[in-house]
Amino acid sequence: MTEYSRGSGFGRFVLIIILLLIVAVAGVWYYNKTHVVTAGDQVGKAVDALPAVVSKAADEATDKDNIDKVGDALKDTGQAASSALSKTGKVTSSAVSETSADVKAAAKKQKAQNAQDQKG
């Protein structure tokens, strides 16, 4: 005798997953169908929230701790820039001195070559 099976466990599992996906998609579709938000509504919310955001930003901008932190950061940045310019100036000066010495040596060599060419 053969026994009739209503389906394997895996088949039922796949069917349940498919049904859950269909229900989820239908729920999202229904929510989006009934929940309409226009661009004007979005702009209105943003405009309504603007005074609170501006007030918070103004409070943070006038907070003594924040001002002190900005001052310290600017001071550190100024010192770093000064140090970098000083180092750049030293390197540039050294490079110019070396180039000047090279140019003088080349001019002297050229002058000697010209003098030798005139003799011979």
Q: pLDDT by residue (tens digit) across 93-110?
A: 888 888 888 888 888 888
H-helix segments, the chain: 9-34, 39-61, 64-119
Buried b or exposed e, range 29-63, using 16+ CB within 10 angstroms: eeeeeeeeeeeeeeeeeeeeeeeeeeeeeeeeeee
Q: Does 25 score more than 90 pLDDT?
A: yes
Which residue type does 26 have? A
pLDDT number for residue 5? 55
Asked whether residue 72 carries a pLDDT value surpassing 80, the answer given is yes
What digits encode the pLDDT tens for the residues 53-62?
Answer: 888 887 777 7
Which one has a higher pLDDT value, 66 or 10? 10
